[in-house]
Amino acid sequence: MDHTLDNLFESMAKAKLLRLFVMNPEACFSLHEIGKQTQIKRISAKKELGKLLKLHFIKKKVIFVKDAIKKRAWREQVFFADPQFKFFPELKSLIMKASPADKTELTKRLNAVGGIKFAAVAGVFINSDNSRADLLVVGDKIPRKKFRRFLARTESEIGKELTYMMLTPQEFRYRLDMYDRFLRDVLEFPHQKLINRMNV
């Protein structure tokens, strides 16, 4: 009996790794990069990567890395998705259709950041490839550290770096009145408003 699917979906850490590799099929990640992007502890990441290697969902190779500033070089092991994996197309379709983050939870997290008067999601949050940005945030004195923590946590769950635009209410109104193409594309294409204290 083939237990591949059972082995694929056995832990939250593995689910995050699956999403990371499926959402970035052409990228190579070092163990450090994987830990940073998924927020999985190193020991758990190594364990789950070993399992995914055995399933032939990912491959690994050694690359030569150069640091021009520090004038040194080293060999580093990196991991990447194997598109020949037998369930790769189905897995990609499933992950793309699955909601990357609960909208109620996202709204709660954004409110916890503070200072946000308007927030809309598009792109990866609504499974759209036509969006100019994944997240639009408008507010006064938004705490940068809190917002960066929000981004890091959300990106670790989605498995992809978010594209976002952050504006003050004055910048937002000005760019809206000037028919700013980027902003108009975000608001005129499919999106979902999570916070709207500006009656946009």
Total domains in the fold of the chain: 2
For residue 85, the model assigns a pLDDT of 93
Cα 168 to chain centroid distance, Å, stands at 24
- One DSSP character per residue, 38-49 reads H---HHHHHHHH
Tokens representing residue 191 in the block: 């999106």
Q: Do 24 and 89 share a domain, yes or no?
A: yes
For residue 1, the model assigns a pLDDT of 33
Containing structural domain, residue 31: 4-97
Q: Of the candidates 54, 70, 97, which is a domain's last residue?
A: 97
| 167, β-bridge pairs | 138
- Rounded Cα–Cα distance for residues 50 and 189 (Å): 41
Q: What is the pLDDT along the chain (200 residues), one digit of tens a residue?
A: 344 544 567 788 888 899 899 989 999 999 999 999 999 999 999 999 999 999 999 999 999 988 878 788 889 999 999 989 988 988 888 877 665 567 888 999 999 999 999 999 998 888 787 788 999 999 999 999 999 999 999 998 888 899 999 999 999 999 999 999 999 888 998 999 999 999 88
